Chain A
Amino acid sequence: MTETSQTSPEPLLKLEGISKSFPGVRALRDVSLSLERGEIHALLGENGAGKSTIIKIMGGIQSQDEGQIFLNGKECHFSSYRDAISAGIGIVFQEFSLIPELDAVDNIFLGREMRNALGFSRKNEMTRIAQGIFERLGVKTRFDVPVARLSVAEQQFVEIAKALSLDVQVLILDEPTATLTPTEAELLFNVMRQLRDQGIGIFFVSHHLEEIFEICDRITVLRDGAHVGVLKTADCTMDHLVEKMVGRKIESTFPPKPALQTAERILEAENIRFASNGHPNSFYLRKGEILGFAGLVGSGRTETALALIGALPCPGKRVRIEGREVSMGNPAQALHHGIGILPESRKTEGLILGFSIRDNISINNLPQYTRPIGTIDTAREKRKTQELMSAVHIKAPSDETTVVSLSGGNQQKVVIARWLNRRSKILIFDEPTRGIDVGAKAEIYTLMRNLTAEGYAIIMISSELPEVVGMCDRVAVFSHGVITAVLEGDAISSEEVMRHATASVKKSAVDALSA
């Protein structure tokens, strides 16, 4: 992994002294990058460090204020993504640009379909070429179904194939693993290695340092829009990298787990199922604890939480809060009983993106600010919102900033703050740190422990094992819609969680947890 092809004197792609400003913000300051042929090169930095901006500049989507781009030693000017692609730079964005209803071949050739003399599409020919590309990638996929029916990983391969069909020499992958399972990510890495061996240069963006160490040859670290260093992967350690990224040493990421003050069960849930013929799960939650919902993607963790709060129908469930039986037919009733949720996808389910921080935090707190005559006391609302913002350390110019301009970590804190004003007692955090950088992760963890210290009880759904092990007091492990084990204390380890998560679910698991 250490040998990078240095045979050619000119790097494949070179950026020199790139600067870019937006009104009031300097997004990039004098950043230089270089990418060799046959190299996988990580772009690393916290959210807001300037990664997306530099990618957009390489792709011609934005133009730099200063600086030059050289491809194969020749200076290039891109005024659109089309320019960049035809020059040989392809980007696979986090949000795919595939048309869900079309199959892989039609997607790959979208806009430049091959036609015969009569104008009919030469589907067989195109399929043959697409198959050739997939052979290059070393993976298989189905060509006869709409891409919407392919897995996320396969869709990503289709995106990559689309770029390769355009003969790109530089491939930029923007957080490609964020939505992949570990197995799928492995597949992607194999594809990336194949392409590297074929001489393609790859920029890889990821927040997962393990992945970067696994696959990348070199790493460029950005911080606050500036280039802080380029390192050979073989020469550096993870701590070193994190320090470079955040500009300070991060102590242990996970706060200590305090001893539980009470055994009082704040929530008892029975017969929670999310499909009419699904397995009925039962679990309980104690005051001040963090209960993990672990398991593979698709094992029913999120669905169970949604069924609990009534966002999914769940006839026959029984929920007791502080010993009292309550009905919970929809999230509004759950709110009434003190249960709040931080949804899995903060952008599509958590936030109203174009709205201000204040609007987003206030949305379920308005009755508190309402005068007896029914109008909102905006002065009070503003004051209280600012209190909440500082309580969860949201960094933003003001409470009127729109949430779309915030970093992932700050966006997540906005959703958290929403629940802290209602005397909620139970919070469900679904993948609270997905797509969030290292520094902000640590802040979210500390925040969660502060909340439990105040008496909140938290259910945390997470696909990241270190997070589950580091944060949870107890862990309910899901496999195929069934809670197969509840681990507590020293029994919580990555190996144990994985063992139960991949367990087949023949034996009844109910008695294991309703003890």
Chain B
Amino acid sequence: MSEALPSLIQAVDQAESSGHLIRAVRQLAAAHHADAIPTLMAVLSYNNPGAAIAAVDGLVALGEPAVPALLEQLDQHNYTARSWAIRALAGIGDPRGLVTLLGAATADFSPSVRRAAARGLGAMQWQWFPANLLEVAQEEALEALVFVVHQDEEWVVRYAAVVGLQSLVTGVAAPHPDWRSQIEAQLTQAIAQEATLAVKARAWMSLQQLQSHQPVAIAAPAAPSPLSANDWQNILDKLYERKEQERSVFAEGDPRRYKDLAVAIAPPPESH
């Protein structure tokens, strides 16, 4: 497989049409090899949504090894590539993407990015978090998802936030004592306010599954956390920074205000 990798990479680099590119990226993604990461990352800025989707799928399948490159992409000023990187981070659920997902779920310009980020916040690898960080991180995730479920104007983003809220409970072996009842209360409120039948139905499904206390499907602690103490410190710093910003700059506490900033500094995204 690894012998074929150079030719798979070459096929992506030399693709002559959109169709060829998409096919080549799919094949490269299917090789499931960390050496493909730089090429898959490059595809995110090609402005070819079909190829970008295939690259995101490949990066998500690779998981943790792709995270450093994705985080680096977030610092670049390419809004389209950044959107795809956020979607990949949401799919991987690596804690280093947490703060980015918090911002994206509540304030990104593109509904597809908000949708993926809302789902990703619930599906975070919560079992990796050290105890002292888990509580503050989950509180932030809960706050963001509650905001989205009640405020986002797109039904599909609210739907994703319902799914995210449910996984906040089911994804943790020993959730907060009152976690479950808090989230059940939020879902009940969402059902009462929700205008879109599909979202209402999904919220009922979550509520019923939570209330039936179905066995929690934790991804067994198979892989130990690959994060270093430094990574965790970094996440904690950024979380506090975010809280601080909400208090001072955005006095009304409305994370949506980030949206104006994002629009001001960036061209519109590609969304698919």
A, B co-complexed: no
Question: Chain A interface (Cβ within 8 Å of chain B)?
Answer: none
Chain B residues at the A interface, C-beta cutoff of 8 Å: none
